[in-house]
Amino acid sequence: MAETVIPTTIPTVTGQEIAAIQDVLRTRTLTGKGKYTVLCQRWLESSMIGGKAFVLSSCTSALEIAALLADLQPGDEVIVPSYTYVSTVNAFVVHGAVPVFVDLDDATMNIDAQRIEAAITPQTKVVVPVHYAGIACDMDTILAIADKHGLLVVEDAAMACGGTYQGRALGTIGHLGCISFQEKKVFTSGGQGGALLINQESLAARAEIIYEHGTNRGQFLRGEVNVYRWLDVGINATMSEIQAAFLYPQLQAAPDILAHRRHLWTRYHQRLAPLAQTGVIQLPQVPEGAIHNAVIFWLRLTDASRRPEFIRHMAAGQVCTQAQFVPLHSSPFGQQVGRFHGEDRVTTRAAAEIVLLPLYSELTETSQEVVIRRVLAFWDDARPSDGIPGLGS
Protein backbone atom coordinates (compact mmCIF):
# COMPACT_ATOMS: atom_id res chain seq x y z
CA MET A 1 0.00 0.00 0.00
CA ALA A 2 1.36 3.39 -1.00
CA GLU A 3 1.96 5.74 1.91
CA THR A 4 0.01 8.99 1.74
CA VAL A 5 2.12 11.95 0.82
CA ILE A 6 2.01 14.84 3.28
CA PRO A 7 1.87 18.06 1.22
CA THR A 8 3.47 21.33 2.34
CA THR A 9 0.13 23.09 2.27
CA ILE A 10 -3.58 22.36 1.71
CA PRO A 11 -6.16 25.15 1.41
CA THR A 12 -8.36 25.62 4.47
CA VAL A 13 -11.90 24.24 4.03
CA THR A 14 -14.27 24.27 7.01
CA GLY A 15 -17.22 22.41 5.43
CA GLN A 16 -19.52 25.41 5.95
CA GLU A 17 -18.63 27.05 2.63
CA ILE A 18 -21.21 25.22 0.46
CA ALA A 19 -24.16 26.32 2.60
CA ALA A 20 -23.07 29.95 2.36
CA ILE A 21 -22.57 29.66 -1.41
CA GLN A 22 -26.03 28.13 -1.76
CA ASP A 23 -27.41 31.12 0.12
CA VAL A 24 -25.78 33.38 -2.50
CA LEU A 25 -27.25 31.30 -5.33
CA ARG A 26 -30.72 31.80 -3.84
CA THR A 27 -30.33 35.58 -3.66
CA ARG A 28 -28.89 35.76 -7.23
CA THR A 29 -26.45 38.54 -6.23
CA LEU A 30 -23.22 37.19 -7.64
CA THR A 31 -21.20 40.21 -8.64
CA GLY A 32 -20.03 41.16 -5.16
CA LYS A 33 -20.68 44.01 -2.70
CA GLY A 34 -23.62 41.97 -1.32
CA LYS A 35 -24.41 40.31 2.01
CA TYR A 36 -21.25 38.19 2.36
CA THR A 37 -18.96 40.96 1.15
CA VAL A 38 -20.42 43.19 3.86
CA LEU A 39 -20.06 40.44 6.50
CA CYS A 40 -16.39 39.84 5.60
CA GLN A 41 -15.66 43.57 5.59
CA ARG A 42 -17.35 44.00 8.98
CA TRP A 43 -15.26 41.14 10.36
CA LEU A 44 -12.09 42.85 9.16
CA GLU A 45 -13.25 46.28 10.38
CA SER A 46 -14.00 44.88 13.84
CA SER A 47 -10.23 44.72 14.47
CA MET A 48 -9.63 48.24 13.11
CA ILE A 49 -9.78 51.57 14.91
CA GLY A 50 -12.38 53.36 12.81
CA GLY A 51 -10.88 52.17 9.51
CA LYS A 52 -12.47 50.83 6.35
CA ALA A 53 -11.95 47.44 4.69
CA PHE A 54 -12.62 46.38 1.10
CA VAL A 55 -12.48 42.73 0.16
CA LEU A 56 -10.88 42.38 -3.27
CA SER A 57 -9.93 39.92 -5.97
CA SER A 58 -6.38 39.56 -4.58
CA CYS A 59 -3.75 41.05 -2.31
CA THR A 60 -1.99 42.13 -5.50
CA SER A 61 -4.99 44.34 -6.35
CA ALA A 62 -4.92 45.73 -2.79
CA LEU A 63 -1.25 46.63 -3.29
CA GLU A 64 -2.14 48.19 -6.67
CA ILE A 65 -4.76 50.43 -5.05
CA ALA A 66 -2.23 51.31 -2.32
CA ALA A 67 0.28 52.31 -5.00
CA LEU A 68 -2.33 54.51 -6.72
CA LEU A 69 -3.09 56.16 -3.35
CA ALA A 70 0.62 56.83 -2.89
CA ASP A 71 0.54 59.09 -5.99
CA LEU A 72 3.97 58.04 -7.14
CA GLN A 73 6.01 59.86 -9.77
CA PRO A 74 8.58 58.04 -11.90
CA GLY A 75 11.82 57.86 -9.93
CA ASP A 76 10.13 57.89 -6.53
CA GLU A 77 11.55 55.23 -4.23
CA VAL A 78 9.82 52.50 -2.26
CA ILE A 79 11.66 50.69 0.55
CA VAL A 80 10.94 46.96 0.56
CA PRO A 81 12.55 43.68 1.57
CA SER A 82 14.01 41.71 -1.33
CA TYR A 83 12.82 38.42 0.15
CA THR A 84 9.11 38.64 -0.73
CA TYR A 85 6.59 37.76 -3.40
CA VAL A 86 6.88 39.82 -6.63
CA SER A 87 3.50 41.51 -6.13
CA THR A 88 4.83 43.50 -3.17
CA VAL A 89 7.10 45.36 -5.55
CA ASN A 90 5.36 45.10 -8.95
CA ALA A 91 2.42 47.21 -7.76
CA PHE A 92 4.80 50.16 -7.29
CA VAL A 93 7.18 49.49 -10.19
CA VAL A 94 4.21 49.76 -12.59
CA HIS A 95 4.14 53.47 -11.67
CA GLY A 96 7.83 53.95 -12.42
CA ALA A 97 8.89 53.71 -8.78
CA VAL A 98 12.34 52.35 -7.89
CA PRO A 99 12.38 49.53 -5.34
CA VAL A 100 15.13 50.05 -2.78
CA PHE A 101 15.77 46.73 -1.11
CA VAL A 102 16.80 46.66 2.55
CA ASP A 103 18.33 43.64 4.25
CA LEU A 104 16.48 41.25 6.58
CA ASP A 105 16.48 40.72 10.30
CA ASP A 106 18.09 37.29 10.77
CA ALA A 107 15.66 36.13 13.49
CA THR A 108 12.39 36.73 11.59
CA MET A 109 13.39 37.19 7.93
CA ASN A 110 11.40 40.45 8.05
CA ILE A 111 12.86 43.76 6.85
CA ASP A 112 15.53 44.96 9.31
CA ALA A 113 13.88 48.10 10.68
CA GLN A 114 17.25 49.36 11.94
CA ARG A 115 18.53 49.58 8.35
CA ILE A 116 15.60 51.46 6.83
CA GLU A 117 16.58 55.00 7.76
CA ALA A 118 19.97 54.80 6.01
CA ALA A 119 18.18 53.86 2.76
CA ILE A 120 15.95 56.95 2.76
CA THR A 121 16.62 59.62 0.11
CA PRO A 122 14.61 62.73 -0.91
CA GLN A 123 12.85 60.44 -3.46
CA THR A 124 11.62 57.93 -0.85
CA LYS A 125 7.81 57.95 -0.60
CA VAL A 126 6.69 54.58 0.77
CA VAL A 127 7.86 51.80 3.09
CA VAL A 128 6.37 48.34 2.62
CA PRO A 129 6.99 46.08 5.62
CA VAL A 130 6.13 42.46 4.77
CA HIS A 131 5.05 40.38 7.77
CA TYR A 132 6.79 37.25 6.58
CA ALA A 133 5.32 33.97 7.82
CA GLY A 134 2.66 36.00 9.64
CA ILE A 135 5.25 37.24 12.15
CA ALA A 136 5.09 40.98 12.79
CA CYS A 137 7.76 43.41 11.59
CA ASP A 138 9.16 45.89 14.11
CA MET A 139 6.28 48.30 13.47
CA ASP A 140 7.14 50.75 16.30
CA THR A 141 10.50 51.52 14.71
CA ILE A 142 9.07 51.58 11.17
CA LEU A 143 6.21 53.94 12.11
CA ALA A 144 8.61 56.28 13.94
CA ILE A 145 10.93 56.48 10.91
CA ALA A 146 8.00 56.94 8.52
CA ASP A 147 6.57 59.69 10.68
CA LYS A 148 9.90 61.50 10.88
CA HIS A 149 10.39 61.40 7.09
CA GLY A 150 6.74 61.75 5.99
CA LEU A 151 6.53 58.32 4.36
CA LEU A 152 3.45 56.24 3.64
CA VAL A 153 3.48 52.84 5.37
CA VAL A 154 1.79 50.05 3.37
CA GLU A 155 1.80 46.79 5.32
CA ASP A 156 2.06 43.72 3.11
CA ALA A 157 0.07 41.53 5.48
CA ALA A 158 -0.69 39.07 2.67
CA MET A 159 0.37 36.12 4.81
CA ALA A 160 -0.54 37.67 8.13
CA CYS A 161 -4.33 37.76 8.61
CA GLY A 162 -4.92 36.66 12.20
CA GLY A 163 -1.49 37.73 13.44
CA THR A 164 -1.10 40.63 15.88
CA TYR A 165 1.51 43.12 17.09
CA GLN A 166 1.07 44.58 20.56
CA GLY A 167 -2.57 43.54 20.46
CA ARG A 168 -3.27 45.12 17.06
CA ALA A 169 -4.18 43.04 14.00
CA LEU A 170 -1.49 42.95 11.33
CA GLY A 171 -2.59 45.09 8.39
CA THR A 172 -4.28 47.64 10.67
CA ILE A 173 -1.13 49.36 11.92
CA GLY A 174 0.31 51.22 8.91
CA HIS A 175 -1.62 53.79 6.82
CA LEU A 176 -2.75 50.96 4.54
CA GLY A 177 -2.75 47.18 4.94
CA CYS A 178 -2.99 44.52 2.24
CA ILE A 179 -4.20 40.99 2.99
CA SER A 180 -4.39 37.88 0.81
CA PHE A 181 -7.04 35.18 0.84
CA GLN A 182 -5.23 33.13 -1.78
CA GLU A 183 -5.32 29.41 -1.07
CA LYS A 184 -1.88 29.22 0.54
CA LYS A 185 -2.83 31.65 3.31
CA VAL A 186 -4.64 30.75 6.54
CA PHE A 187 -8.08 31.83 5.28
CA THR A 188 -9.13 31.61 1.62
CA SER A 189 -11.99 33.00 -0.44
CA GLY A 190 -12.01 29.95 -2.69
CA GLY A 191 -8.46 30.09 -3.98
CA GLN A 192 -8.03 33.77 -4.85
CA GLY A 193 -8.88 36.94 -2.95
CA GLY A 194 -7.60 39.71 -0.76
CA ALA A 195 -8.48 42.86 1.15
CA LEU A 196 -7.35 46.44 1.48
CA LEU A 197 -7.47 47.97 4.95
CA ILE A 198 -7.55 51.76 5.06
CA ASN A 199 -6.38 52.90 8.46
CA GLN A 200 -5.81 56.55 7.53
CA GLU A 201 -9.05 58.55 7.34
CA SER A 202 -7.68 60.98 4.73
CA LEU A 203 -7.14 58.13 2.24
CA ALA A 204 -10.63 56.59 2.59
CA ALA A 205 -12.60 58.72 0.11
CA ARG A 206 -10.11 58.28 -2.76
CA ALA A 207 -9.68 54.57 -1.96
CA GLU A 208 -13.42 54.11 -2.39
CA ILE A 209 -13.41 55.96 -5.74
CA ILE A 210 -10.53 53.82 -7.06
CA TYR A 211 -12.33 50.69 -5.82
CA GLU A 212 -15.54 51.88 -7.56
CA HIS A 213 -13.68 51.85 -10.89
CA GLY A 214 -12.87 55.58 -10.68
CA THR A 215 -16.43 56.76 -9.90
CA ASN A 216 -18.34 58.04 -6.87
CA ARG A 217 -20.77 55.12 -7.10
CA GLY A 218 -20.23 54.58 -3.35
CA GLN A 219 -21.68 58.02 -2.62
CA PHE A 220 -24.52 57.37 -5.06
CA LEU A 221 -25.47 54.11 -3.33
CA ARG A 222 -25.55 55.93 0.02
CA GLY A 223 -27.89 58.56 -1.50
CA GLU A 224 -25.30 61.32 -1.14
CA VAL A 225 -25.41 62.23 -4.88
CA ASN A 226 -28.09 61.77 -7.60
CA VAL A 227 -25.80 60.41 -10.23
CA TYR A 228 -22.36 58.87 -10.20
CA ARG A 229 -19.62 60.03 -12.52
CA TRP A 230 -16.05 59.33 -13.57
CA LEU A 231 -13.79 61.25 -11.17
CA ASP A 232 -10.41 59.52 -11.08
CA VAL A 233 -8.48 56.46 -12.20
CA GLY A 234 -9.88 53.18 -10.92
CA ILE A 235 -9.68 49.42 -11.16
CA ASN A 236 -12.12 46.55 -10.97
CA ALA A 237 -10.79 44.43 -8.14
CA THR A 238 -14.19 43.43 -6.74
CA MET A 239 -14.42 40.09 -4.92
CA SER A 240 -17.42 38.10 -6.17
CA GLU A 241 -20.15 37.20 -3.68
CA ILE A 242 -19.40 33.49 -4.27
CA GLN A 243 -15.85 34.08 -3.04
CA ALA A 244 -17.01 36.19 -0.08
CA ALA A 245 -19.44 33.40 0.86
CA PHE A 246 -16.56 30.92 0.74
CA LEU A 247 -14.48 33.17 2.99
CA TYR A 248 -17.00 34.20 5.64
CA PRO A 249 -17.40 30.81 7.39
CA GLN A 250 -13.60 30.61 7.59
CA LEU A 251 -13.40 34.02 9.28
CA GLN A 252 -16.11 32.91 11.71
CA ALA A 253 -14.03 29.82 12.52
CA ALA A 254 -10.84 31.89 12.87
CA PRO A 255 -10.25 31.25 16.60
CA ASP A 256 -10.30 27.45 16.14
CA ILE A 257 -8.31 27.49 12.89
CA LEU A 258 -5.63 29.73 14.41
CA ALA A 259 -5.48 27.76 17.68
CA HIS A 260 -4.90 24.46 15.85
CA ARG A 261 -2.25 25.89 13.52
CA ARG A 262 -0.42 27.65 16.39
CA HIS A 263 -0.45 24.43 18.36
CA LEU A 264 1.23 22.58 15.48
CA TRP A 265 3.70 25.44 14.93
CA THR A 266 4.73 25.41 18.59
CA ARG A 267 5.11 21.64 18.50
CA TYR A 268 7.48 21.88 15.53
CA HIS A 269 9.43 24.59 17.31
CA GLN A 270 9.78 22.61 20.54
CA ARG A 271 10.64 19.29 18.91
CA LEU A 272 13.21 20.80 16.56
CA ALA A 273 14.80 23.04 19.21
CA PRO A 274 17.53 20.44 19.97
CA LEU A 275 18.67 20.63 16.33
CA ALA A 276 18.78 24.41 16.56
CA GLN A 277 20.89 24.07 19.72
CA THR A 278 23.45 21.93 17.90
CA GLY A 279 23.59 24.63 15.22
CA VAL A 280 22.54 22.58 12.16
CA ILE A 281 19.31 24.52 11.76
CA GLN A 282 17.92 27.91 12.65
CA LEU A 283 14.30 28.41 13.71
CA PRO A 284 12.09 31.52 13.57
CA GLN A 285 12.05 33.73 16.64
CA VAL A 286 8.81 35.53 17.35
CA PRO A 287 9.51 39.02 18.74
CA GLU A 288 8.13 40.16 22.09
CA GLY A 289 4.59 41.50 21.64
CA ALA A 290 3.91 39.61 18.41
CA ILE A 291 1.45 36.73 18.00
CA HIS A 292 1.89 34.99 14.64
CA ASN A 293 -0.87 33.25 12.66
CA ALA A 294 1.05 30.03 11.88
CA VAL A 295 0.56 30.46 8.14
CA ILE A 296 3.77 28.52 7.45
CA PHE A 297 6.55 26.92 9.47
CA TRP A 298 10.12 27.49 8.33
CA LEU A 299 13.52 26.24 9.33
CA ARG A 300 16.87 27.17 7.86
CA LEU A 301 19.66 24.72 7.14
CA THR A 302 22.86 26.32 8.36
CA ASP A 303 24.63 24.50 5.54
CA ALA A 304 22.55 25.69 2.57
CA SER A 305 24.43 23.36 0.22
CA ARG A 306 22.58 20.45 1.85
CA ARG A 307 19.10 21.83 1.12
CA PRO A 308 18.44 19.84 -2.10
CA GLU A 309 19.52 16.66 -0.27
CA PHE A 310 17.26 17.54 2.68
CA ILE A 311 14.25 18.12 0.39
CA ARG A 312 14.95 14.77 -1.37
CA HIS A 313 15.30 13.02 2.01
CA MET A 314 11.92 14.39 3.13
CA ALA A 315 10.29 13.45 -0.20
CA ALA A 316 11.63 9.88 0.13
CA GLY A 317 9.72 9.78 3.46
CA GLN A 318 6.53 10.99 1.70
CA VAL A 319 6.87 14.52 3.10
CA CYS A 320 6.75 17.53 0.77
CA THR A 321 8.90 20.47 1.75
CA GLN A 322 9.94 23.49 -0.30
CA ALA A 323 12.11 26.53 -0.61
CA GLN A 324 10.34 29.88 -0.88
CA PHE A 325 11.21 33.20 -2.56
CA VAL A 326 14.22 33.90 -4.76
CA PRO A 327 15.41 37.39 -3.67
CA LEU A 328 14.01 40.05 -5.99
CA HIS A 329 17.19 42.18 -6.12
CA SER A 330 19.12 39.32 -7.75
CA SER A 331 16.26 38.41 -10.14
CA PRO A 332 16.56 39.67 -13.74
CA PHE A 333 13.87 42.35 -13.47
CA GLY A 334 14.93 43.39 -9.98
CA GLN A 335 18.46 44.04 -11.19
CA GLN A 336 17.03 46.19 -13.97
CA VAL A 337 14.63 48.35 -11.95
CA GLY A 338 15.83 48.29 -8.35
CA ARG A 339 18.83 48.51 -6.07
CA PHE A 340 19.90 46.94 -2.80
CA HIS A 341 20.87 49.47 -0.15
CA GLY A 342 23.90 48.58 1.94
CA GLU A 343 25.31 45.16 2.54
CA ASP A 344 23.36 41.96 1.85
CA ARG A 345 24.26 40.13 5.05
CA VAL A 346 21.13 38.06 5.55
CA THR A 347 18.83 38.13 2.48
CA THR A 348 20.69 35.91 0.00
CA ARG A 349 21.98 33.53 2.65
CA ALA A 350 18.63 33.10 4.42
CA ALA A 351 16.76 32.62 1.13
CA ALA A 352 19.18 29.82 0.23
CA GLU A 353 18.83 28.15 3.64
CA ILE A 354 15.06 28.21 4.14
CA VAL A 355 12.76 25.20 3.89
CA LEU A 356 9.02 25.18 4.62
CA LEU A 357 7.63 22.18 6.49
CA PRO A 358 4.02 20.98 6.07
CA LEU A 359 1.55 23.18 7.94
CA TYR A 360 -2.15 23.50 7.12
CA SER A 361 -5.47 23.60 8.92
CA GLU A 362 -6.20 19.87 8.41
CA LEU A 363 -2.75 18.63 9.44
CA THR A 364 -3.03 16.10 12.26
CA GLU A 365 -0.52 15.53 15.05
CA THR A 366 -0.01 12.01 13.68
CA SER A 367 1.06 13.31 10.29
CA GLN A 368 3.13 16.01 11.94
CA GLU A 369 4.93 13.32 13.90
CA VAL A 370 5.93 11.68 10.59
CA VAL A 371 7.37 15.01 9.46
CA ILE A 372 9.25 15.65 12.71
CA ARG A 373 10.81 12.17 12.78
CA ARG A 374 11.86 12.49 9.19
CA VAL A 375 13.55 15.85 9.89
CA LEU A 376 15.34 14.44 12.93
CA ALA A 377 16.48 11.40 10.91
CA PHE A 378 18.35 13.62 8.46
CA TRP A 379 20.86 14.45 11.17
CA ASP A 380 20.72 11.12 12.94
CA ASP A 381 24.04 9.29 12.38
CA ALA A 382 22.85 6.06 13.93
CA ARG A 383 19.94 5.66 11.55
CA PRO A 384 20.70 5.97 7.82
CA SER A 385 17.47 7.30 6.37
CA ASP A 386 15.38 4.33 5.28
CA GLY A 387 18.23 2.57 3.62
CA ILE A 388 18.94 5.36 1.15
CA PRO A 389 22.71 5.53 1.15
CA GLY A 390 24.42 8.80 1.84
CA LEU A 391 21.35 10.65 3.05
CA GLY A 392 21.93 10.37 6.81
CA SER A 393 25.02 12.48 7.47
Query: What are the residues binding ligand PLP (CB under 6 A)?
Result: 58-60, 84-85, 87-88, 130, 156, 158-159, 180, 182, 194
- CB closer to ligand PLP, 85 vs 268: 85
- CB closer to ligand PLP, 54 vs 85: 85
> At closest approach, how far in Å is the CB of 268 from ligand PLP?
20
> At closest approach, how far in Å is the CB of 62 from ligand PLP?
8
- CB closer to ligand PLP, 159 vs 275: 159
CA angle at residue 253 from 361 to 264, to 5 degrees? 30
Q: Rounded distance, CA 375 to CA 382, Å?
A: 14
> At closest approach, how far in Å is the CB of 128 from ligand PLP?
9
Mention every residue, 6+ apart, whose C-beta is less than 8 A from residue 13. 361, 362
> At closest approach, how far in Å is the CB of 249 from ligand PLP?
19
- CB closer to ligand PLP, 22 vs 236: 236
Contact call for residues 155 and 178 (beta carbons, < 8 A): yes
CB atoms within 10 A of CB 387: 8
- CB closer to ligand PLP, 178 vs 377: 178
- CB closer to ligand PLP, 88 vs 250: 88
Residue of 250, 146, 265 lying closest to 199 (CA atoms): 146
CB atoms within 10 A of CB 212: 23
Contact call for residues 281 and 353 (beta carbons, < 8 A): no
List strands edge to edge, sheet with 297-301: 281-282, 297-301, 354-357
Query: Backbone phi, then psi, for 30, in 5-degree steps?
Result: -100, -25
Q: Rounded distance, CA 119 to CA 105, Å?
A: 15
> At closest approach, how far in Å is the CB of 22 from ligand PLP?
25
> At closest approach, how far in Å is the CB of 312 from ligand PLP?
26
